[in-house]
Structure 1
Amino acid sequence: MTTTPAFPTGTILGYPRIGRRRELKKAVEAFWSGRIDETELEAIAAELRTTTRARLVELGLGATDSAIPESFSYYDHVLDAAVTVGAVPRRFASLVDADGRIDLAGYFTLARGEGDNLPLEMTKWFDSNYHYLVPEIGPETSFSLASDRIVRQFAEAKAAGYVTRPVIVGPVTLLALSKPSDEAPTGFVPLSRLDDLIPVYAALLARLAEAGAEWVQLDEPALVSESIEVPRAELLGAARFAYSTLGRLEQRPALFVAAPYGSLDDALPVLAESPIEAIGLDLVRGQTPDAVAALADKTLVAGVIDGHNIWRGDLAAAFATASALATLSPRIAVSTSTSLLHVPHDVLDESSLGDDLSSWLAFADQKVAQVATLARGLVDGQSAIQDELDAASAALAARLAAPGVRDGEVRARAADLTEADFNRGDYAARVAAQDEAFDLPFLPTTTIGSFPQTGEIRRARAQLNKGELTTDEYAALMRAEIRRVVELQEEIGLDVLVHGEPERNDMVQYFAENLDGFAVTENGWVQSYGSRCTRPSILWGDVSRPKPITVDWSVYTQSLTEKPVKGMLTGPVTILAWSFVRDDQPLGETARQVALALRDEIGDLEAAGIGIVQVDEPALRELLPLKKKDQAAYLDWSVGSFKLATAGVAEVTQIHTHLCYSEFGVVIDAIRNLDADVTSIEAARSRMEVVSDISSSGFDHGIGPGVYDIHSPRVPSVTEVTELIERALESIPGRQVWINPDCGLKTRGYDETVESLRNILTATRAVRAKSEVSVPA
């Protein structure tokens, strides 16, 4: 590079890519089902990208100054980076053509699996509710510039009159988040391949420069995390090598390294000393850094607009934070703290939130407008944007004073809690009481809760919402579905049954609709993974339960069978993690309020004769802070909220919980401290890797490592399930082990679900027969 182009004064790190009405989701699923071909899918995606660019310019970003991030993905941005550099596992070698490329069908096969070839593992993206696909890298991985899709999308924008900023996961984060391939030797670390990977990034940068890109965004959130398994010194050394090497390239665009989800801390001097041009700082999760040598030569991009939550926030404080960076560098820009993929498109799409609540919110489009406002202030001075700052401050003050934000009765009840309210008593005594009450076989079988949500179920819910069905008519249809699910489970031979949750639109939204302090959206869709989208609820005030929520459904289900039925609840941590939560008080305080509401629900289920209650906490690991200094406090309140919800029942009542998509070894002590009688966990997709953590930790409660990956359309064979069960029993005493899928079955079809469950029962019976044991020891 000879001269550095100016960085845009206002930008964002990424934008929602699913479409305002989930157009991408629908198109991708149509492609999977064969209803459209690749050409049609590409056309729909191109139209979405075109619409996004035009909308961002309309909201105030520059069209030709690299302010618009080119951050589209068909499925996952980590998968995109892996495919770009040719990191395709050997089991999928048949998908790669002679030039090392993979088409869209092959790309989706990596994500979803095919036949006996398991898909890439999936886990949570830092402390968000987004799931990424975990690349598999070993000594045999042959890196090359195997996809030019990022170049073609930049060229597409340029042809339409835009100069955008291509975005890709940086090389350090890509390798740090990867796992060793099946062929890798014991002890192999993917980050050791950095020397081989950097030339591929160099080739990509050269291609982008040739295409006319002025800036490229390299996302390096691994640099802010202390939860990465790679030793910190090695991670920083990798960043030093990567960016000193890439920064010295002659043929490249200017480099903007973004580090969302926390503060860079000791990684900031490493980036400052490298010959890159701009550094993105998350100043929502992190603090304004101290002066660092060489920062004065960089553009500092102040991430002061929260990309992770939906509150309008304190715009005046954000402007002050951004302005304060002027003491570190003369070149300051403003941005969102993270990509906006974590928030819905537009508050204006919501007609039922009410004027007050709507005035407190900022979805993606509103956040882009906030960035544009702050950028104008940096250029023209604070007086030029004072009206906007004052309006945001007035909305914040109105929110804090609004009825329902604080409820005296809720707060008094939380204040009166004692240590006894969090303690369930002796586990051994509970096991004895539950064994006598339930008399379950060795390796008891169950499912996680939900069964497939058919088109008929969704249509009935839509008809209810439109007033085309009465409440009684809807309830009758749901009871018929529950009866069908119970009869199916009994016919298959499951030991502990569920009602299938047909009445629930979403495992969090269903409770949000029945608890005070929450609101729900109509079009607030957010990508969770791939084509899977959710509508996070808005937790805006103090939480309480006006009346029982699930009791009638559970009682009806139990009336249909002699087998035990699980009551199904979503836990307090997951309700928080999968909602947009108020930011005016500590999370632990909010979690305690939710826990008390759930405690009341569990008490009512128990009183109604439901002997097993599952309180799902799949997000326990997700919210774990990225900084080690913050983790103990989080684990204290998160575990405490679960125990508060569940500790009010008798010894004979069996409490289950469920966790998924996490590195469980990091929080194994916390899982033990939940003191649930049975914990089911995701394990099939990772091929039972978690059992070693369970074994080495001395975990002695009931455990159900999943044997069926429900996020793939594959049907696991009897042999596959048998091997997974036997692998679990090699490390965990059989008396502890339950058999279950990885997660709920809501997103699967009935044909594949029934076949998979039959295979699970066949495998379980075979292992039981081999063990020559009929009851737990």
Structure 2
Amino acid sequence: MNIFSHILGFPRIGSMRELKFAQEKYWNNEIKINDLIYIGKKIRKKNLKIQKSSGLDFVCVGDFSWYDHVLGNSMMLGNIPKRHINLYKDKIDINTLFGIARGAYYNKNFSHASEMTKWFNTNYHYIVPEFSKNTSFKFIWKQILEELDEAINLKFDKIKPILLGPISYLWLGKIIDKKKFSKLELLDKILPIYKNILFELEKRKINWVQIDEPILTLDISKRWLESFIYSYNYLYNKNSKILLTTYFGDISHNINTIKNIPVHGIHIDYINSKHNINVILKNISKDMLISLGVINGRNIWKSNLKKIYEDIYFIKKTKRKYFLSTSCSLIHVPVDLSLEKNIKKSLMKKFSFAIQKCEELSLLTKSLKESNKEILDNNFSKSLEKKCLDKCFSHIKKNDLYRKSSYKIRRKKQKDSLKISILPTTTIGSFPQTKKLRDIRLQFKSNKIDLKKYNLEIKKYIKNVIKIQEKINLDVLVHGEPERNDMVEYFAQHLEGFAFTEFGWVQSYGSRCVKPPIIVDDIYRKKPITLKWTKYAQSKTNKLVKGMLTGPVTILLWSFCREDLSKSIVSKQIAFSLREEVKDLESSGIKIIQIDEPAFREGLPLRKKFVKEYLSWSIEAFKISSSVVKDETQIHTHMCYSNFNNIIDSIIKLDADVITIESSRSQLKLLNCFKKIKYPNGIGPGVYDIHTSNVPNINDIKVIIKKYIKIFNIKNLWINPDCGLKTRNWKEVKKSLKNMIKATKEIRDEI
């Protein structure tokens, strides 16, 4: 029996983040476009070699992206927002792509970036396609064919191109017209482009093409489901076989549609569909190839290959054709475990990154072909030490999970205690991470400077940040987070139960990469984490300084979580650790404490039937961490790119005194749900986008604030940027904040 191996995509950042550094050098005019293109080509070639040398039967083309694969798909289809079509050069190029992603000036006029949001329930962000009823499409960005020809010229065989499917692409976009219409009305405009691409693949004698339709794991309407039958009937090509690819969940609930989609094969996320695999296989024609995603593409734990072998040995007894694969693309895991030199050997044996997952997959395929389980790795060991700390928390009573008084009562007490003016101004927390600051942390980490010198430098930074904020005249200050490289990694480093990598980078968006900690044990706090620097900052000003914490749900979801305990238990372990930190901050005199939860909505299950359970434990985790304070102490939280419509009730249940959210990129549309329910607590919708170098002008900020005043009770409204400022430079930050303060002052004078 022939069984073939392939993956659904390989990380595109490079093992040493080569793409990130090349992008940023290009944006800073330090290298030319040809240099950037050359580095991208080197990464693609290396990725193909890795897949081939790992023993995989197929190699991928189309998984590389200059910023984001959804944006790449928009470019391929010629779906360029009108404000980014550079009429003066009359061409679409890589600068157009970067302009859509980051915002850009054309003839001295700034065109804002497209909205960015989370890719399903991951920490990857994609650039949201924009649609109007009159949107036209044209195959003008031919990256997929260029990279396919590149791979062919490099003498790679069995190449599998990857495309984002037409229906998922439409689903992921947003309508920008004032008059509503169905995005499916655009389907007939884009299908001919896909058909043309399939024709080009056929000319190049490509046997299989992977077309990703991840929305088939969701609860979607009958009309959207029916569009799959229609679309793939149109695209059917007997020579270029379509592997319809689903991931991030089970598809059994949509199986009655899926079984009738005219394709040659279907990829199933076996990790999430194992319990329903018999139902799925029973309903799919035996003539259809099945690709099983048996290696977890979203976590870094080594696979138990012998167990997988036993679970899927049934495929040897059928006449159906099978591929073996990863559950999803490997862009969600680091590239190469072999680069790590500082992880304990006992832990190294438990981990597997992208390259190692390719090797696992190849070995598993070989063992099944030969019916030889004994060649599989005997070193599998995923058992973790369990102290069952959750039992230690049984003394916490239900009343301990609630603030002592309602928000209405708390607001009055906080008004008397904090004495903050109307439309109070603040920032989200972080300030620019300068090269000097990064060098100081690196020198301390590598023992080139001692603790005394390190502390002195951090104090200098904080003291300067406080002076800058006072000079700008912000109402509520922050210490700037100079001691933190990453908002999650920093807390993980100061809690027990985490392991860390040196090169375990994962793309979050564009050139932004994160290095998720790994939860390997029960989590608890031995000593204060933020107290020292927050107290120091407060000692340097008479104004209020916010304590800045990362919330339990975000720490959990932005780490690689252990798999032997439920996320609910792990989140509570983190929450109780943060609860102690909150208590210490309050006891030291800090009157405002921000507990950031940018990942709160990201963790929402893709299926509606699982949402209630998630919201239950995630709300409880936040309340465990935040509810220990007195009425007079103000709790803030911050959330990123989120469509809050379907969880607004849960946002209210968090009972934070103030929530700050990103909204400027969405042109304020995210705020509709807050408008409808008349959000009762304090809120700070961002007044400008920090993900671009553009400095907002005073009038634009005033226009936004006035819109907010119409939506929210002015007594509850806070004025702040969209997000933290660590990725910006000081020149931009100072100008932007000065304009924000001046705009706020002028609004105050008008009311």
Give the TM-score normalised by structure 2: 0.96
CA 1:564/1:329 → structure 2, altered by over 3 Å: closer, same or farther?
farther
CA contact (8 A) 2:297 2:330 kept: yes
User: Could you tell me which amino acid in structure 2 is paired with residue 83 of structure 1?
Assistant: M
Alignment match, 2:248: 261
Alignment match, 1:243: 232
In the alignment, which of 304, 322, 325 is matched to residue 314 of structure 1?
A: 304
Alignment match, 1:774: none
Alignment match, 1:765: 745
With 514-523 and 710-719 compared, the bigger mean Cα shift is at 710-719
| 1:42 lines up with 2:34 in the alignment | no
Quote the RMSD (CA, aligned, Å).
Answer: 1.7
Alignment match, 2:323: 333
Deviation at 1:473, TM superposition (A): 0.5
| 1:75 lines up with 2:67 in the alignment | yes
CA contact (8 A) 2:161 2:209 kept: yes
Q: What is the CA deviation profile of residues 239-288 of structure 1, one whole-angstrom value per residue up to 9, with x for unaligned ones?
A: 221112112x46x6211111110011243343332221111111112231
User: Could you tell me which amino acid in structure 2 is paired with residue 273 of structure 1?
Assistant: N
With 206-215 and 121-130 compared, the bigger mean Cα shift is at 206-215
Matches of 2:316 and 2:86, distance apart in 1 = 53
Alignment match, 1:424: 403
In the alignment, which of 111, 123, 127 is matched to residue 121 of structure 2?
A: 127
Alignment match, 2:167: 172
With 234-243 and 451-460 compared, the bigger mean Cα shift is at 234-243
| 1:748 lines up with 2:728 in the alignment | yes
Alignment match, 1:86: 78
CA contact (8 A) 1:9 1:375 kept: yes
User: Could you tell me which amino acid in structure 2 is paired with residue 22 of structure 1?
Assistant: R
CA contact (8 A) 1:272 1:298 kept: no
User: Could you tell me which amino acid in structure 2 is paired with residue 683 of structure 1?
Assistant: S
Q: What is the CA deviation profile of residues 646-686 of structure 1, one whole-angstrom value per residue up to 9, with x for unaligned ones?
A: 11111111000000011121221111111100000011111
Matches of 2:549 and 2:655, distance apart in 1 = 16
Alignment match, 2:373: 385
Secondary structure at 1:448's aligned position in 2?
Answer: coil
Secondary structure at 1:333's aligned position in 2?
Answer: strand
In the alignment, which of 263, 267, 275 is matched to residue 262 of structure 2?
A: 275
Secondary structure at 1:543's aligned position in 2?
Answer: strand
Alignment match, 1:669: 649
Matches of 1:289 and 1:171, distance apart in 2 = 28
Where does the alignment leave 5 or more consecutive residues of structure 2 unmatched? none
Matches of 1:69 and 1:156, distance apart in 2 = 9
Alignment match, 1:500: 480
Where does the alignment leave 5 or more consecutive residues of structure 1 unmatched? 1-5, 772-777
Q: What is the CA deviation profile of residues 534-554 of structure 1, one whole-angstrom value per residue up to 9, with x for unaligned ones?
A: 100001110000100100100
User: Could you tell me which amino acid in structure 1 is paired with residue 477 of structure 2?
Assistant: L
User: Could you tell me which amino acid in structure 1 is paired with residue 625 of structure 2?
Assistant: A
CA contact (8 A) 1:300 1:329 kept: no
Secondary structure at 2:185's aligned position in 1?
Answer: helix
Matches of 1:731 and 1:316, distance apart in 2 = 58
In the alignment, which of 341, 345, 354 is matched to residue 351 of structure 1?
A: 341
Q: What is the CA deviation profile of residues 502-536 of structure 1, one whole-angstrom value per residue up to 9, with x for unaligned ones?
A: 00010000011110000111000000000000100
With 260-269 and 196-205 compared, the bigger mean Cα shift is at 260-269
In the alignment, which of 12, 17, 21 is matched to residue 17 of structure 1?
A: 12
Matches of 2:309 and 2:151, distance apart in 1 = 31
Matches of 1:315 and 1:281, distance apart in 2 = 18
Deviation at 1:390, TM superposition (A): 3.7
CA contact (8 A) 2:367 2:376 kept: no
Matches of 1:320 and 1:713, distance apart in 2 = 54
Deviation at 1:207, TM superposition (A): 1.6
User: Could you tell me which amino acid in structure 1 is paired with residue 329 of structure 2?
Assistant: S
1:605-644 map, 5 Å: 605-644=585-624
1:652-691 map, 5 Å: 652-691=632-671
1:442-521 map, 5 Å: 442-521=422-501
Matches of 2:676 and 2:376, distance apart in 1 = 56
Matches of 2:51 and 2:736, distance apart in 1 = 45
Residue identity over aligned pairs, in percent, reads 38
Secondary structure at 1:295's aligned position in 2?
Answer: coil
CA 1:244/1:596 → structure 2, altered by over 3 Å: closer, same or farther?
same
In the alignment, which of 195, 202, 215 is matched to residue 222 of structure 1?
A: 215
| Runs of 4+ deviating beyond 6 Å | 326-329
With 344-353 and 289-298 compared, the bigger mean Cα shift is at 289-298
Secondary structure at 2:477's aligned position in 1?
Answer: coil
Secondary structure at 2:421's aligned position in 1?
Answer: coil
Matches of 2:700 and 2:222, distance apart in 1 = 40
Secondary structure at 1:68's aligned position in 2?
Answer: strand
User: Could you tell me which amino acid in structure 2 is paired with residue 575 of structure 1?
Assistant: I
User: Could you tell me which amino acid in structure 1 is paired with residue 66 of structure 2?
Assistant: Y
Alignment match, 2:28: 33
User: Could you tell me which amino acid in structure 2 is paired with residue 476 of structure 1?
Assistant: L
With 663-672 and 534-543 compared, the bigger mean Cα shift is at 663-672
User: Could you tell me which amino acid in structure 2 is paired with residue 274 of structure 1?
Assistant: I
User: Could you tell me which amino acid in structure 2 is paired with residue 221 of structure 1?
Assistant: P
Secondary structure at 1:213's aligned position in 2?
Answer: coil
Q: What is the CA deviation profile of residues 375-405 of structure 1, one whole-angstrom value per residue up to 9, with x for unaligned ones?
A: 1123111xx232425432xx12xx33xxxx3
CA 1:668/1:765 → structure 2, altered by over 3 Å: closer, same or farther?
same
Deviation at 1:324, TM superposition (A): 3.9
In the alignment, which of 409, 415, 421 is matched to residue 394 of structure 2?
A: 415
In the alignment, which of 102, 112, 133 is matched to residue 118 of structure 1?
A: 112
Deviation at 1:556, TM superposition (A): 0.3
User: Could you tell me which amino acid in structure 2 is paired with residue 171 of structure 1?
Assistant: P
Alignment match, 1:585: 565
Matches of 1:328 and 1:436, distance apart in 2 = 74
User: Could you tell me which amino acid in structure 1 is paired with residue 18 of structure 2?
Assistant: E
User: Could you tell me which amino acid in structure 1 is paired with residue 226 of structure 2?
Assistant: G
With 448-457 and 278-287 compared, the bigger mean Cα shift is at 278-287
CA contact (8 A) 1:255 1:278 kept: yes
Matches of 1:321 and 1:133, distance apart in 2 = 38
Deviation at 1:159, TM superposition (A): 0.5
In the alignment, which of 194, 208, 211 is matched to residue 204 of structure 2?
A: 211
- Residues matched between the structures, number: 742
| 1:286 lines up with 2:276 in the alignment | no
CA 1:690/1:327 → structure 2, altered by over 3 Å: closer, same or farther?
farther
Matches of 1:509 and 1:289, distance apart in 2 = 41
Q: What is the CA deviation profile of residues 590-622 of structure 1, one whole-angstrom value per residue up to 9, with x for unaligned ones?
A: 000000000000000011111110000000000
CA contact (8 A) 2:85 2:96 kept: no
